[in-house]
Amino acid sequence: MVYIAPAGIVLCGCVADGDSTRDGPKRANVGLFAFLWDEIASSLGNGGEMLVLLNSGYEEMSREAARIVAGTVRSKPNATLGLATGSTTVGMYKELARLHQEQGLDFSKVITFNLDEYLGLAAEHPQSFHCFMRENFFTHVNVASKNIHIPDGTIGGDYEEYCAAYERAIREAGGIDLQILGIGRNGHIGFNEPTSSFGSRTRLKVLTNETIEDNRKFFGAGEEMPQCAITMGIGTILEAKRILLLATGAAKAETVAEAIEGPITASVTASCLQLHPDVTFVIDEAAGARLKQRDYYRRVMEMTARFTPNRLS
Ligand code: F6R
């Protein structure tokens, strides 16, 4: 199937549907194309496009990401933030904690939804994403505990009902204003592993061997590594009003280039972000080393700062 959008964007092929969604593959794809069309049409209206902010290193990348998150919270104190875990985000959370402690950045009305949690891990488990969020962010800022949402890794039984309720809670909060993402070496966002449907919603997802190997280092010797996770879907992520993706280090360079400049494919799920009208990639030089259009992104950064600085805030 080939779609030619008015902007000359060509969408080729069918979307892989390795996921079982509640609605089934057929309806998910019909909805997906309608959604993509709406997104493209609305991006034509507001001039939205992908921004790639190249930073010298991890510290600068973390400060830049925190600056954008802080800008969202200052302009909308009751903003809904979609949060990610992972080593990439640690510096950003540290900087946000500093802004809270030294400059009074107020999170008291902010609502948060985390992307994912390992299946089988209780909130108290040191490797759980609940624990990561407590240690790196929540104990250092003033997000109200009633406003924090992280998938429960200990649910058993009706996963579909649980995941549908998570989706409902996001909708009832007014949708996500700013979604923060990291990226896996295999191009995953959240735990949307390669072949995840672009129409997928929050669901139980089996982790790939690569993801299991990448994360094994955080678990103790002899400790069993979870094989599955509850994760927001690609469809859930694409509905966020704005998306911020952070990437650092040479190990991410190949997948970052595929996500930003490669074909849109479910084999690199982050490539779906090319369809979103307001995505900012905040990356460091090492993670951006394989991008062919680096010089162009630098010029776009300069011109954006000059003509439409609100896009950088
Ligand atoms: C974590 C998550 C993952 C990570 C990704 C990168 O909530 O959803 O997609 O963002 O695996 O992890 P790090 O930053 O550890 O390389």
Ligand 1 atom 2: residue of nearest CA:
190
The single-letter DSSP state of residue 254 is: H
pTM for the predicted model, two decimal places: 0.88
**Start-end of H helices in 150-252:** 159-172, 209-216, 234-238
- Tokens 């000059």 belong to 306
> For the chain, which domains are there?
49-312 (3.40.50.1360)
The confidence score (pLDDT) of residue 157 equals 83
Protein residue closest via CA to atom 12 of ligand 1: 86
Compute the distance between CA of residue 104 and CA of residue 204 in angstroms, rounded to an integer.
38
Distance CA 130, CA 309 (A): 35
Residue 117 near ligand 1, beta carbon < 6 Å:
no
- Region 204-219: mean pLDDT is 93
CA dihedral (293, 294, 297, 303) in degrees, to 10, reads -120
- Known catalytic residue: 258? no
Average pLDDT, the chain: 88
How confident is the model over 227-272, as pLDDT tens digits? 999 999 999 999 999 999 999 999 999 999 999 999 999 999 999 9
* Residue 189 Cα to ligand 1 middle (Å): 7
Question: Does residue 102 or residue 41 have the better pLDDT?
Answer: 102
